[in-house]
A and B are shown apart, each in its own frame.
Chain A
């Protein structure tokens, strides 16, 4: 039984309706102290609404939200021990970086000397030492993002909320910031609740994640777990790329009509005369299309049975021309039987 004091945030049957629209539909969730938790899902899935309800900018239509065991439904944002890093950073344009970061302390009437000391500390943590005198308009996107982080962390909140903070940054910078954020979280040790639609980001940074779809949570778990063992076709196709096989095709391959998911990287492309071992499935197919992507190559396979599978193979020894040359070639697909993940209720999984 989890010690209740270890639960940083608890959602109890929380719903948020906007008229007829159920933005959040009966969500129950426990977020633990000190973990990096990601709310993952497409736009409109309810993840941002949940975040805003934790912060206090939105209130549930029904259900309760507890912060460290305390029901916060009636608490305005300025009375919650929670701070937010906004998607557009929300830096105050008329204040310097130093004044922005010190804002929360200024409100709490912290003495000036201590304020300045802590601001310097924070700026060092986010690697912006010496920038205290600049204005936000003079900073780059990445720098502004770090100021927003410092401004939130300086108040030592027990929970930090991050609303898609890396969305505006370019790829390389984003990847770099992901690692930095993770490092900061581990150093500071508080709970980070992170919202994103980028599943790669979620997989990189999280201790645990929740996959949102249409206002509900479809699955909660550690990234590897969710990736390896999706419990629904939505999770399987949203987290990573996958093949979903159902109906007659599934029946023909596995002997059961149950829909299954098999990851593209788990499938090997071999010559037609290759024999599968008893642990493997074998399906004949033709290479319909090849997309060479440097690191790996994506093959669209047209099954003789009908239907398509995507296969991804790392270009260990394959050059581009070699990859492209297999177009329209006949081949065989082989993968381990236990790489299949069976989704949807009812029916028996094959032995």
Chain B
């Protein structure tokens, strides 16, 4: 049916489409909101709905738990170092691919994305078998090793995309005006890339913080926060605490990505 307003013929979406789209959107968001609700329930052992009452005491209980803080601290440390490694390696790789044409250039992108493209379990068990074959103990560093490996591509994509926008003309202009390689890097390249590095870094941080599959394989006795949650998934006693922890995790993954998004949308697009 042509719409009556002056203009092109197809302006309004058919009602059924709007309904379907809304339904899908709700499907996407309601579950997280449910957790929010359950963090305040007074019910200790079950997930009964509607919640018998509301309270904030679980927040106190959760924050008093030492294992929670240990897990949180470990996750932060792992994510921090993995992000740092990813930033360095990813930027170097992006610079190499951008600057030079060499044999196997396209293969680099594929290689870097493989840890994310293949199922996590593949990366996980591959690392595990290699580590145990080398008789290396499973420590904090083995976790970092795994995380850095799949975080590199996130930084790489962001930096490469940024370089491809005006990268060469800026470098050439700087050199034309007398700056050598290091000066160009410091005064021109680094500021130009700063937002991409920040965005990539935030994404890598969130990716690492949230990761559980590869971590399961590369950790020994240590528990990162996701592993802690996973172990709680079947324990009725700790449910309300788990709910609170869930909210903490949401915030800690959500906020870096939000920041990354804001940064990138001001200067191009972020690449997951």
Which chain A residues have a beta carbon within 8 Å of chain B's beta carbons? 16-17, 56-61, 74, 76-77
Pairwise interchain contact A61-B6, C-beta atoms closer than 8 A: yes
Is B53 among interface residues, defined by CB-CB distance under 8 A? no
Pairwise interchain contact A60-B9, C-beta atoms closer than 8 A: no
Complex-state Cα separation, A74 to B5, whole angstroms: 11
- For chain B, residues 1 to 28, give those with C-beta under 8 angstroms from any C-beta of chain A: 2, 6-9
A116 to chain B, nearest CB (A): 32
Complex-state Cα separation, A77 to B7, whole angstroms: 13
Pairwise interchain contact B9-A77, C-beta atoms closer than 8 A: yes
Chain A residues, CB < 8 A from B9 = 56-57, 59, 76-77
A74 to chain B, nearest CB (A): 7
Pairwise interchain contact B2-A58, C-beta atoms closer than 8 A: no
Complex-state Cα separation, A285 to B2, whole angstroms: 63
Pairwise interchain contact B2-A76, C-beta atoms closer than 8 A: yes
Apart from the given pairs A57-B8, A57-B9, A76-B2, 14 other A-B contacts in the complex at a CB distance below 8 Å:
A16-B6, A17-B6, A56-B9, A58-B7, A58-B8, A59-B6, A59-B7, A59-B8, A59-B9, A60-B6, A61-B6, A74-B2, A76-B9, A77-B9
Chain A residues, CB < 8 A from B7 = 58-59
Question: How many residues from B make CB contacts under 8 Å with A?
Answer: 5
- Please list 17 pairs of residues, one from A and one from B, whose beta carbons are closer than 8 Å in the complex, sorted by A's number: A16-B6, A17-B6, A56-B9, A57-B8, A57-B9, A58-B7, A58-B8, A59-B6, A59-B7, A59-B8, A59-B9, A60-B6, A61-B6, A74-B2, A76-B2, A76-B9, A77-B9
Complex-state Cα separation, A59 to B8, whole angstroms: 6
A291 to chain B, nearest CB (A): 33
Chain B residues, CB < 8 A from A74 = 2
**Which 7 interchain pairs have the tightest Cβ spacing?**
A61-B6, A76-B9, A59-B6, A57-B8, A76-B2, A58-B8, A59-B7
Chain A residues, CB < 8 A from B6 = 16-17, 59-61
B11 to chain A, nearest CB (A): 11
Chain B residues, CB < 8 A from A77 = 9
Chain A residues, CB < 8 A from B8 = 57-59
Complex-state Cα separation, A119 to B261, whole angstroms: 50
Residue of B nearest to A18 (CB): B7
Residue of A nearest to B6 (CB): A61
B14 to chain A, nearest CB (A): 15
Complex-state Cα separation, A76 to B7, whole angstroms: 11
B222 to chain A, nearest CB (A): 52
Chain B residues, CB < 8 A from A16 = 6
B8 to chain A, nearest CB (A): 6
Complex-state Cα separation, A284 to B9, whole angstroms: 61
A203 to chain B, nearest CB (A): 33
Complex-state Cα separation, A61 to B9, whole angstroms: 13
Complex-state Cα separation, A149 to B9, whole angstroms: 24
Among B2, B6, B7, the most chain A Cβ lie within 10 Å of the Cβ of B6
Chain B residues, CB < 8 A from A58 = 7-8
Chain B residues, CB < 8 A from A57 = 8-9
A234 to chain B, nearest CB (A): 28
Complex-state Cα separation, A17 to B9, whole angstroms: 16
B7 to chain A, nearest CB (A): 6
- For chain B, residues 158 to 205, give those with C-beta under 8 angstroms from any C-beta of chain A: none
B241 to chain A, nearest CB (A): 54
Complex-state Cα separation, A233 to B32, whole angstroms: 67
Complex-state Cα separation, A57 to B2, whole angstroms: 11
A58 to chain B, nearest CB (A): 6
A63 to chain B, nearest CB (A): 11
Complex-state Cα separation, A16 to B2, whole angstroms: 17
Residue of A nearest to B2 (CB): A76
B4 to chain A, nearest CB (A): 10
Chain B residues, CB < 8 A from A59 = 6-9
A211 to chain B, nearest CB (A): 26
Residue of B nearest to A75 (CB): B2
